[in-house]
Amino acid sequence: GYKRVLEENRKLYNLVQDLRGNIRVYCRVRPFLPGKASGLSAVDHVDEGSITIITPSKYGKEGRKSFTFNKVFGPAASQEEVFADTQPLIRSVLDGYNVCIFAYGQTGSGKTHTMTGPDDLKEETMGVNYRALRDLFLLSEQRKDTISYEISVQMLEIYNEQVKDLLATDGQNKRLEIRNSSQKGLNVPDANTVPVKSTSDVIYLMNLGHKNRSVGSTAMNIRSSRSHSCLTVHVQGRDLASNTVLRGSMHLVDLAGSERVDKSEAVGERLKEAQHINKSLSALGDVIASLAQKNTHVPYRNSKLTQLLQDSLGGQAKTLMFVHISPEHDAIGETISTLKFAERVSSVELGAARANKDSADVKELKEQIATLKAALARKE
Ligand code: ADP
Ligand code: MG
């Protein structure tokens, strides 16, 4: 009785989650940085699913605006808490799904902190990349009596619409092509693909990638905020009984800074970079938004980034975007445009708007859940 009702409830909940689609948007607010005058905050409050910001007004009177997400992490959230909700995605990679995880936001908002973590390389502050691979190793070990897994990684950088290999060992850092093969789908065959067996292999490669990224660049931070970096994990599992093979992949992408560049100031190289970033971030936004709206045409071909990730965006693939917010009041302009971008790619709002079109199923399931909850409440 009681247990079965609980079990049913959970099953239905999962179904509803599935029907909601494969795009998740989480928002993370960076804390004020130590040593910097904290100043005024642009964030009024944060709860589990929404964020309210303070908007300036021409007339001196402040306004409030709220945005809804699948999840919001406040400034005190730890790396572990932020990763916890990502864990189911990691499991699905081993089940043969393709997954993309993005970090979006203006430079300095915490993208690299979320994906990589601070340079000290302490276990408790490691970011999503490390934790994802750690979990892949742990879970594949647990399944080793039934499935034999091989895990390998690539690290790519997209800078000015050119794809470069961050794991190149010849120091050449040449420009690579994205190709389409019938067996592997879209991939970059000429980039180094390195088998990994443990987290120490991964740390070694991350360091190598980090070093390669700064080659030819005088100011590493500046370069890294103007390029996308992508850690791709390929997983191949062979079922020991049937010998069938399944493939899953995961792209972990630290995007270029989303800040708009003042057109009057940017010239030459800086202007070119800004145009490329702008183009690829809008292309990404267009792709995710059209997937969230279930459009039939998805414009993958408008940037290298969306071409590269084509097989892992849409269809059965799962997408998670971490949208990063700086808390400072003087960043409010960028914060608002970041939140607007996030709102556009988020299926939350659209899900509500779509309600009468395609979610009769969702409605029915919700009613069943309500009935079951009521039944459950009566038992207690
Ligand atoms: P981005 O990659 O978006 O340019 P970073 O991740 O480099 O931004 O973050 C900018 C600074 O803020 C770094 O010094 C980073 O260590 C710090 N920082 C970012 N997010 C957090 C956080 N959640 N907790 C503590 N420090 C953070
Ligand atoms: Mg960064």
What is the model's pLDDT at position 28? 97
Ligand 1 cavity residues, CB under 6 Å:
30-31, 33, 105, 107-113, 118, 225, 324
The rounded mean pLDDT for the chain is 85
**Spacing, Cα 338 to ligand 1 middle (Å):** 16
Question: From atom 25 of ligand 1, which residue's Cα is the shortest distance away?
Answer: 31
Residues by chain with Cβ below 5 Å of ion ligand 2:
111-112
**Spacing, Cα 31 to ligand 1 middle (Å):** 9
What is the model's pLDDT at position 258? 94
Ligand 1 atom nearest residue 118's Cα: 16
What pLDDT band is residue 217 in, cutting at 50, 70 and 90?
Answer: very low
Higher pLDDT, 233 or 296: 233
Q: In this structure, what are the phi and psi dihedrals at residue 155, rounded to the nearest 5 degrees?
A: -130, 120
**What CA–CA distance (Å, rounded) separates 179 from 154?**
15
Q: Which ligand approaches the C-alpha of residue 220 most closely?
A: 2
Pocket test of ligand 1: the residue of 27, 28, 30 to mutate, having most ligand atoms within 8 Å of its CB, is 30
What is the model's pLDDT at position 119? 83
Across the range 67-79, mean pLDDT stands at 95
Produce one character per residue of 107-133: b if its CB has 16 or more CB atoms within 10 Å, e if not.
bbbbbbbbbbbeeeeeeeebbbbbbbb
Higher pLDDT, 151 or 38: 151
Tell me the per-residue pLDDT of 303-355, one tens digit each, with 9 for 90 and over.
999 999 998 998 889 999 999 999 998 899 999 999 999 998 886 443 333 33
Best-predicted range by mean pLDDT among 193-197, 222-226, 373-377? Answer: 193-197
Question: Which structure tokens are listed for 142?
Answer: 């647990």
What is the model's pLDDT at position 6? 65
What pLDDT band is residue 62 in, cutting at 50, 70 and 90?
Answer: confident
Is it the case that residue 356 has pLDDT exceeding 50?
no
What is the model's pLDDT at position 369? 80
What is the model's pLDDT at position 98? 93
**Strand partners of residue 54:** 64
What pLDDT band is residue 148 in, cutting at 50, 70 and 90?
Answer: very high
Produce one character per residue of 337-371: b if its CB has 16 or more CB atoms within 10 Å, e if not.
ebbebbbbbbbbbbbeebeeeebeebeebeeebee
Q: In this structure, what are the phi and psi dihedrals at residue 222, rounded to the nearest 5 degrees?
A: -65, -45
Angle (CA) 351 356 358, round 5°: 70
Question: From atom 22 of ligand 1, which residue's Cα is the shortest distance away?
Answer: 30
Work out whether strand 23-29 and strand 318-325 pair parallel, antiparallel, or are unpaired: parallel
What is the model's pLDDT at position 229? 94
Is it the case that residue 251 has pLDDT exceeding 60?
yes
**Spacing, Cα 255 to ligand 2 middle (Å):** 8
Ligand 1 atom nearest residue 113's Cα: 6
Pocket test of ligand 1: the residue of 113, 125, 258 to mutate, having most ligand atoms within 8 Å of its CB, is 113
